[in-house]
Amino acid sequence: TWGDEVRLCWEVDSCVVLTV
């Protein structure tokens, strides 16, 4: 659904949160 948050992490404390 629209408006969900997706968190992408590639290292410790290296995350981005995308709203799709």
Write out pLDDT tens, residues 1-20. 678 999 999 998 999 999 98
pLDDT at 3: 85
Residues facing 8 on adjacent strands: 16
- DSSP states of 1-20: -TT-EEEEEEETTEEEEEE-
pLDDT of residue 20: 82
- What does the pLDDT read at residue 15? 94
Distance (Å, whole) CA 18 – CA 11: 16
Q: What is the pLDDT of residue 1?
A: 66
